[in-house]
Structure 1
Amino acid sequence: MADSAKNNTEVKPKSSTHGAVAETPMPLLYIKDFQKLPHWDFEDVYNQDAPPRPTTCAQSLRNSQDEKFKEAFLPNIRLFLHKDNINMSEWNRLSHFNSPFGFMEFKYNDVMAAVKLIPKPKEPLLLPKPGSNGCVRCAVVGNAGILNGSKKGVEIDGHDYVFRMNGAITKGYEEDVGSKTSVYMHTTHSMTASLYLFKKYGYKSAPHDEGIKYVMIPEGMRDFQWLEGLLKGQKISSGPYRNKVPRTFYSGQYNESRFYVLHHDFLRYMRNRFLKSHNLNRAIWAKFRPTNGAITLFLALHTCDTVDAYGFMTDDYTKYSNYYFERGVHSKVTFYINHDLILEKNTWKDFHNKKIMKLYQRTEPKTKMENPKQH
């Protein structure tokens, strides 16, 4: 059941995921019919894959003793969407949730044209490196200005794996942000828009290190149109990116066995259990979603044993420019209506304080005080 925000009465779900498997798509639900996030009785129920990756890492965040985190964290939450884990019953369940948390307002045939092409991953996203004592040590690098002049590049590249997202420029900034990219997170929009938004800073293409793994965040219909073209190796046939050839955007590193699509349950779980913004109770509820940086960080928290986050918002964010590649200027952090950056900032700080992950926070050097005994 869900709260119908228009009349405050209970409305029944259009389908059930229990009992007989549904044979036809449920009638479309529309965002405009809800003035705040609808809450279904299966809202906090998620697909899980068993068993989770075993770890022998003593320092693993999975061993956290923080009660609140342990209660919320699902180590075997289903991370990836593919053709073998969706059927009509699943479609109908996910159609109760707005994008990118589900398929609300989307037509079955439009989305499934792409989903039926997504292969089941042949291996986990990450595996322990030889000689690592079983620990998977990761760095997640955001694009915040706090990294400008940080000289953290060598430290970042020293991790087993490095996650980046969006306009991840490294050339010319290696001293501060490193050069290695193991996992690159993107939406269709972030991959294409970065080419012109960040061109003046030297951005030429998405990271394409040899053997890199790409993870798609399915935030809207345009992503499924992109996926269909990408997986078929063809031009996109419809939508805002019509006639573009997706495979040309990966600089020769696209490989079906190293390409993953996030599952909507993972995104919804992340929002519901860790980033439940007050904006979800407002008329703009459907616009809100966590940032690509937040999604990347949570994927790392579910695939790594230790996570060090660099280039994410901290309490003193006003001291720094919006992006680390903005040199010689001090642009203010941009707050968009579809993200709750303050909630994310406070979450990273909380995780850091509870030793769930390590957040890079810039500290100003203290000025030396003159010894009053010396003259």
Structure 2
Amino acid sequence: MMGMGLHKRLLFGTLAVGCLLCVYVLALTLEMPLVPLYSFIQRTSSNSRDSEKPLNRQSNSDQLAYPPPVSTLHPPLKTHIVQKQVLDDGIPKSRSDDDDKARIDTKRATEKPVQAIKHAETSKSRSEEENKARIDIQRPTEKLVEAAKPTEPPFIGDFYMSEDIPPQTDCSDSIRDRVGKTEFGERFLENIPVLQWAKHATREQHQRLSRYPGAHGWEGIDFKTLVETLSVLNSSANWQMLDDWKTRDNKSECRRCALVGNGGILKNSQKGKEIDSHHYVFRTNGAVIKGFEQDVGSRTTHYTFSTNTLMNSIQSYAGAGYEGPPVSKETRYIFLPDHDRDYLLMKAAATHTLVESGREKGKNPMKYFGEDVSADKLKMYHPDFIRYLRNRFLRSNTLKTKYKYIYRPSTGATMLLAALHTCDQVSAYGFMTPDYKNYSDHYYDSSYHPVGFYANHDLRMEMDLWQQLHKAGLIRLYMRN
């Protein structure tokens, strides 16, 4: 009996060893890694922690649910309606100088490409540390590529706030009445807010606009800074472009606006009196007036600029006589916010304090806008409006290049198109025309300087747009021939 029991134990041991050898040989044949059990458990729990991070998975319908009480969101153009928000919401964008090298990181995706997208959604915060995150598109999956085909690039964002703003006049020949009969009818959104002010600084709007960089959104501007700066724009004068219309002593039913660019075509034009005869006169950037009144007029009711273009103009055109923005009782100052420095300078101007931080820290805004500057004289373009102009009026091929994040409509183009949305009638002077090579870059140049072309603006496309608007009867463009 003992011999038979020993025999059974030996037989069982032999079978066990044989089974283990078979498993080992099979593993080598299939090249399967033999991983210790504790390592497998550790990796599984790590993936679980990643998946439990809070995700921001808004759809287009989610966006439509978030506007302030009196606002809605404009839908995209019909050609843009078929969108899959997976990519529109899911891909973060690095904003370093190496934007074109940014990559989508899919290395941690497990089974489905959408998991990589969900992981990307968690890095939407735009702090300086998170901006270092890169997006890896070197190894896209087939489903990810297919999902991208009907989708706009995520930085486009063809959705905008809509506000019901009643018209200030009963003009029977206004741009808004005529635009629907032109080729621009489908592009034109008459209820898009041109200006932003205190009531726009909500957490919902900050969340929505923080995905767009530069002048097109609030990326890089924390909510606290946004609220503190926009809070000074809290009156009707801040959201109405032509805020003093009712107090003006005129019998006109239509608001006539003159838009004055700095183009060389104005030199010896003798258009000064004609320009000043308009109800409102808009100027931008290095607007040198003294000594050129006969050609460009003397009045300025609205001055459009960004802090960057203002500082560059002071430095570049001082020799031509530019010392800073025009200053008068009727002058309003419209910021085109490219960065947080515009918000900080605007707040300092409204409160008569020194700029508290940033590149202009310690500077006195009254040096630029005069001692009498007040919050009621300050305005700021809404980022939705700038993005709308880029997407629907100036959709340049630059958006398909590595310069897509720095491209925007020029300051002059923003000024003209803002007037198109707020004035009843618009006349444009000093803007680029097809014979631009016949004139110097600026009307105040002492010698001929050719027009410079840079990647951040598409001036030729803007020139073509002015021609189209003129032919459509929406603006009256000054041309020599």
Normalised to the residue count of structure 1, the TM-score between the two structures is: 0.86
Q: Is it true that 1:330 corresponds to 2:428 in the alignment? A: no
CA contact (8 A) 1:52 1:76 kept: no
Taking a change above 3 Å as real, the CA distance of residues 14 and 108 of structure 1, as seen in their structure-2 partners, is farther
Compare 81-90 and 142-151 and name the one that shifted more. 81-90
Query: Does the C-alpha gap of structure 1 residues 177 and 101 become closer, same or farther in structure 2, counting only changes over 3 Å?
Result: same
1:41-82 superposed Cα distances (whole Å, 9 cap, x missing partner): 992221122134154222211122434312111122112212
Q: Does 1:125 align with 2:223?
A: no
DSSP 3-state at the match of 2:314: helix
Structure 2 stretches lacking a partner, 5+ long: 1-84, 92-101, 107-112, 138-147
Which residue in 2 is equivalent to 1:345? 463
Whichever residue aligns with residue 95 of structure 1, its letter is S
Amino acid at match of 1:331: H
| 1:40, distance to aligned residue in structure 2 (A) | 4.5
Number of aligned residue pairs: give it.
353
AA at the equivalent of 2:394: L
CA-atom RMSD in angstroms: 2.8
Structure 2 contact 155–211 (Cα < 8 Å) conserved: no
Unaligned runs of 5+ in 1: 16-24, 364-375
Note the C-alpha offset of 1:130.
Answer: 4.3
Supply the distance in 1 between the matched residues of 2:234 and 2:330 (Cα, whole angstroms): 18
Tell whether the 8 Å contact from 2:214 to 2:406 is kept in structure 1 after alignment. no
CA deviation digits over 1:263-313, x for unaligned, max 9? 111111111111111111112100101111001001111111110000000
Given the alignment of the two structures, is residue 272 of structure 1 paired with residue 386 of structure 2, yes or no?
Answer: no
Per-residue deviation, 1:183: 0.7
Distance 1:212 1:41, change over 3 A: closer
Match of 2:409 among 290, 294, 315: 290
Most deviating of 113-122 and 336-345: 113-122
2:462, 2:334 → 1: CA distance?
21
Q: 1:288 to 1:30 in 2, by over 3 A?
A: farther
Q: Deviations over 1:323-357 (max 9, x none)?
A: 00013x11010112100001100000100011110
Structure 2 partner of 1:198? 317
Q: Is the counterpart of residue 115 in structure 1 residue 115 in structure 2?
A: no
- Higher relative CO (CA 8 A, sep ≥ 6), structure 1 or 2? 1
Q: Which of 156, 162, 174 is the aligned partner of 1:48?
A: 162
1:147-166 equivalences in 2 (<5 Å): 147-166=266-285
- Structure 1 position 241, deviation (Å): 1.1
Paired residue type of 1:178 = G
Amino acid at match of 2:472: K
Q: Which position in structure 1 is the counterpart of 2:35?
A: none
2:173 corresponds in structure 1 to 59
Q: Structure 1 vs Structure 2: percent identity of aligned residues?
A: 33
Q: Deviations over 1:118-156 (max 9, x none)?
A: 324347321265444310001000000010111111111
Deviates more, 1:274-283 or 1:221-230: 221-230
Counterpart secondary structure, 2:445:
coil
Stretch moving more, 229-238 or 163-172: 229-238
CA deviations over 1:175-224 (Å, ceiling 9, x no partner)? 11010111111111222332232111112231112221111111112212
Q: Are residue 136 (structure 1) and residue 255 (structure 2) matched?
A: yes
Higher alpha-carbon Rg: 2
Q: Given the superposition, is the C-alpha separation of residues 254 and 14 from structure 1 closer, same or farther in structure 2, using an over 3 Å criterion?
A: farther
The verdict on how the C-alpha distance between 1:280 and 1:360 changes in structure 2, with shifts beyond 3 A counting, is same
User: Given residue 183 of structure 2, which amino acid in structure 1 is its aligned partner?
Assistant: K
In 2, the alpha carbon distance for the partners of 1:34 and 1:177 equals 52
